[in-house]
Every structure is written in C-alpha cells, then in structure tokens.
Amino acid sequence: MIHVTVNEKDGLIASFTMDGHADFAERGSDLVCAGASSIAYGMVNAISEVMDFTPILEEEEGYLHYSVPAEFVKEDTVQILLRGMVNQLRSLAYSYPDHIKINSK
C-alpha cells in the first residue's frame, strides 16, 4: 500500500511523504503506483518551475519526501499546487482504497 502523509502547520502544507507500493499489479505494470508517482512528481516539478527554486527532496525506491523551503511555504501558488496534488491523490485513493491512503498531520 502507498501511504501519503501531508504535513500542515497553521493550515499550510509544508511537506509530504509518500512511501510504499500500491501492489495493485506487478511492479512496472502498476497503474496506481504510476498515477501516484506522476501526481507527486508533477507537482514537485511544477512548483520548481513556477517558483524557480530547487526542491528539497529525499527519494529512493518507493519513498519520496518533499519539503517546501521555509521562505516559500506561505506563497499562494505553492499552496494551490500542493492542495491540487492532495486532491488528486485523494481521488486516486477513493478509487483504490486498498492501495493508497492519505493522512494529514
């Protein structure tokens, strides 16, 4: 199962972690994993392009941690993109509840 943890402070998303595998299908053919990865990395790339900063990433097989640099957390564009990512991941989790879970803290 993919676990996504969204870290918020004062109503603003500051970081998120995504780890695990969906186990919906064989690795390399898993559409749930591919969808979740596309959503997360698409957002990371969009923020970097629009805001022109290097993302703070930790990544390895089946694990991604993204942190917004502190000076950009309050930027409306950053929050809009992050909220969009969370909504897309929630839609995926709604369709595949046995394969992806979203938690906020």
Q: Is the pLDDT confidence value at 27 over 90?
A: no
Separation between Cα atoms, residue 98 and residue 58, nearest integer Å: 26
Q: How confident is the model at residue 78 (pLDDT cuts 50, 70, 90)?
A: very high
Q: Which domains does the chain have, with CATH numbers?
A: 2-104 (3.30.70.1490)
Separation between Cα atoms, residue 63 and residue 4, nearest integer Å: 10
pLDDT tens sequence across 36-72: 999 999 999 999 999 988 889 999 999 999 999 999 9
Please state, rounded to an integer, the average pLDDT across all residues of the chain: 94
pLDDT at 12: 97
pLDDT tens sequence across 83-98: 999 999 999 999 999 9
Query: What φ, ψ does residue 32 adopt, rounded to 5°?
Result: -70, -45
Q: Which are the catalytic amino acids?
A: 21, 33
Look-up: residue for tokens 């959503």?
39
Q: How confident is the model at residue 105 (pLDDT cuts 50, 70, 90)?
A: confident
* Burial environment of residue 26 by CB neighbours within 10 A (0 to 12, 13 to 18, 19 or more): exposed
pLDDT at 30: 93
